[in-house]
Structure 1
Amino acid sequence: MELRLLNYFATLAEELHFSRAAQRLSISQPPLSVAIRQLEEEIGAALFERSSKGVRLTAAGAHLLPRARQLLALAGQAVQETRDVGQGVSGHLRLGFVGSALYRGVPQALAHFQSAHPQVRIDMRELNSAEQLLGLQQAELDMGLVHSVMLPEGLRSQLLMQEPFVACLPRQHALARHAVLDLAQLKHERLVLFSSTVSPLYHQRIYQMCMAHGFAPEVRHEVRHWLSVLSLVSLGQGSAIVPAALQRVGMPDVVFIPLLGEQPQSELLAVWRSQPDNPLVHKLLLSLQEAVQAVAQGG
């Protein structure tokens, strides 16, 4: 059943006059009459009684009218909602993120984005970088916030920020009063490290940093979350090398000390699918870029 025919029917049912209905529809009367007969034949029931005194609805027509109005309203709503999604006014985004992203301006970006786009729903999932890439490839995520990765085909990325690694020590540690540390000073430390199964690139990067300073790190604990790293350090269970952003966590009984010399950077990237193009992804990316830079600059 064509929506066009339902629209013609509903207009004639309101006017009960072919000429006035045709005028409202910006068509001539003969096409309107043909359309009504076509609808009646399709339904298998007369919808109007026609006489020299005018036009009136049959029982079948009176039954159809509220349903026709409902279908036309739903169709109009579907068109408007689809247009809004296409223009990035409304919709649904599924955002993956690594834990450290929470201390790099992501909550501020989401608050700003939701204020500007109240009709957009954002669902967040904390996943490691590899899990996010898989989620993007399987269309289970619309955007991911990941550490440095090798991107599979079909994905695009934008660097949001990079920052140094710093030493994280228990407050009572003998080195905790130093203003800066040479990484080699941690040679005899037992380290709390991110699990190689959760974030192999981070795990490898810390190992490479230590090896470049003449020692293989002694790993005491491997954990899945950055907060677990900080918690174990605060309890005196070891030391760690962490992204500088984790200084914003506010964990008690830990100190963060810059490292001497040129060191690899900790990076945060936004990743999304190249196709299909999603205007909401690009709008969220702009909010992320602004908020992350503000946080990095101390704003």
Structure 2
Amino acid sequence: MEFRHLRYFLALAEELHFGRAARRLSISQPPLSLNIQQLEASIGVKLFIRNSREVRLTAAGEAFVPRARALLEQAQEAGRHARDVEQGLVGRLHIGFVGAMLYQGLPQMLRQFQAQHPLLQVLLHELNSKDQFIDLSHERLDLGFVHTTRAPPDLSRILVARQPFVCCLPAAHPLAKKRKLSLHQLQGEPFAMVARAVAPDYHEAILSLCTEAGFHPEIRYELRHWLSVVSLVSQGLGVALVPQALRQSGLPDTAFVPLDSETTPYDTYCLWKTAREHPALASFVETVRASAPKPANGRR
């Protein structure tokens, strides 16, 4: 049984006349008769009673009409769904992100993308940069937002944010009211940091900044997420250097004070597997590209 047989059957079931059904199908009567015979043979029952005076459905034919119609509708829906997937209009997109991206434009990108692709399901996974590399390589993620330049060569990237570090202090700390402060003023303070295993680039960057300021930080707490660092500082347990965007975190009892000198910028990249063929991914990359800062030379 083929879908052609079902179309021919339904046309004849509705017209109950071979001539009219053939004209409706834009074919001649012999192919119509042949296809009806093939359908009846394939399912093993007579679907029509036909003689020189009339064509009418048998009881089996009447019972087959709604099933045949449903099968054709399902086939058409399956075809539409396949075309929509090919065009990136439906499906699922798995996106990894580091927590700081919640304050670096990710919500705005998602709102814009979902407004343009309402049938696409975007699934978010908060992961550190290292774990995102693993999941991107195994295609458990389609795209990720990370805080490291050490990307594998098979990944494409876009710089989506560049920002300075600022000092994060408990609101009751004596330095919290300063407009700016020098890094050496934090000497002897207990530091909270993102662990080296989670963000090696920026762990090393903070250590280098402190060394240049003339001291080695007393690292008391090593955590997996920047929001955990800010939360710990808000409890009065230490100080930290964090990306400027975390000022928007809204955690109480914290103060964010700029440094009086420039620091290594905190860069955020969007990464995806270059060879990954996924129409929805390509659409999301365009959304990211439109939101990304343009360097002075016009290239990203």
Fold conserved between structures, TM > 0.5: yes
1:82-101 deviations in Å (ceiling 9; x for gaps): 22222232222222111101
Cα offset for 1:104? Answer: 0.9
Question: Match for residue 169 of structure 1?
Answer: 169
Q: CA deviation at 1:239?
A: 0.8
Higher deviation after alignment, 219-228 or 239-248? 219-228
TM-fit CA distance, 1:194: 0.9
| Contact 1:210/1:217, CA 8 A, preserved across alignment | yes
Contact 1:231 1:251 in 2 (8 A): yes
1:289 Cα deviation from its structure 2 partner: 4.7
Residue of structure 2 equivalent to 1:101: 101
Distance in 2 separating the partners of 1:207 and 1:2: 70
CA distance in 2, matches of 1:13, 1:97: 56
Distance 1:49 1:274 in 2: 61
How many residue pairs get aligned? The number is 293
Query: Where does residue 216 of structure 1 map in the other structure?
Result: 216
Partner deviation per Cα, 1:33-60 (whole Å, 9 max, x = no partner): 2222222222222222221112222233
Q: Is the 8 A contact 1:167 1:257 kept in 2?
A: yes
Give the structure 1 partner of residue 268 of structure 2. 268
> Which one is further off, 6-15 or 110-119?
110-119
The separation in 1 between residues aligned to 2:3 and 2:277, in whole angstroms, is: 29
CA RMSD of aligned residues (A): 2.1
* Alignment-derived partner of residue 297 in structure 2: none
Query: What per-residue deviation string (whole Å, max 9, x for no partner) do you get for residues 246-285 of structure 1?
Result: 0111222222222243422112222223344323223333
Deviations 1:158-196 (A, max 9, x none): 111111111112223233333323333333222101122
Pairs within 5 Å for 1:85-124: 85-124=85-124
Aligned counterpart, 1:14: 14
Instruction: Determine the C-alpha separation between the residues in 2 that align with 1:272 and 1:27.
Output: 51
Cα–Cα, structure 1 residues 209 and 5, in superposed 2: closer, same or farther, change >3 Å? Answer: farther
Residue number in structure 1 paired with 2:46: 46
Change (3 A) 1:48 1:100: same
Q: Which moved more, 1:182-191 or 1:229-238?
A: 182-191
CA displacement 1:95-133 (0-9 Å, x = unmatched): 211110101121122223223322222221111112222
Could you tell me which runs of 5 or more consecutive residues in structure 1 were left unpaired when the two chains were aligned: 294-299
TM alignment of 1:116-155, pairs within 5 A: 116-155=116-155
- Does the CA-based 8 Å contact 1:109-1:292 persist in structure 2? no
Give the CA deviation at 1:233: 1.3
Give, as a single letter, the amino acid of the residue that structure 2 aligns with 1:178: K
Report what 1:83 is aligned to: 83
Letter in 2 for 1:155: L
Shift of 1:290: 4.9
1:212-252: CA deviations, max 9, x gaps?
43432210111222222112212221110100100111222
CA distance in 2, matches of 1:32, 1:224: 69
Instruction: Give the 3-state SS of the residue equivalent to 2:271 in structure 1.
Output: strand
Match of 1:67 in 2: 67
CA-CA distance at 1:6 after TM superposition? 1.5
Q: How does 1:154-233 map to 2 (within 5 A)?
A: 154-233=154-233
Amino acid aligned to 1:116:
Q
Give, in whole Å, the separation in 2 of the partners of 1:57 and 1:274: 57
Q: Is the 8 A contact 1:105 1:292 kept in 2?
A: no
Q: Which amino acid in 1 is paired with 2:141?
A: L
Answer yes or no: is the 8 Å Cα contact 2:148–2:199 preserved in 1: no
Q: Does 1:55 align with 2:55?
A: yes
Between the aligned partners of 1:89 and 1:41, the Cα distance in structure 2 is 41
Per-residue CA distance 1:6-53 (angstroms, 9 max, x = gap):
222222211122222222222222222222222222222222222111
Amino acid in the other structure paired with 1:6: L
User: Using the alignment, how far apart are the partners of 2:63 and 2:173 within structure 1?
Assistant: 82
Matched AA of 2:88: G
2:26 aligned partner, one-letter code: S
Structure 2: tracts of 5 or more residues without a match: 294-300
